[in-house]
Amino acid sequence: IYVVKGSSPSSSDYTQPATSGSECYDSDGGKNYNVKGTCSDANTKNMQDMCLDVNKLLEWYCYNDRCFYEERTCYCKEGRCV
């Protein structure tokens, strides 16, 4: 599992869903804070976006064929910002 805190890859690196044949897949297509998704790669399986608390989202996304996550401050409900 790869953790990104503070700086993160540029937006162009994660806005597109993983392509067929790549080693990473994010069901919500990247950093999509308003949709609950699941990220899987060669080492990480079914990591779901989730609320750490009512004001913090843990968002999984693909970068360089690996799953990463970031924490986002928002009103969080059922694994997404609302």
d(CA 43, CA 82): 30
CA distances (Å), origin 38, targets 43, 57: 14, 13
pLDDT in tens, the chain (82 residues): 444 444 344 444 444 444 455 699 999 999 999 999 999 999 989 999 999 999 999 999 999 999 999 999 999 999 999 9
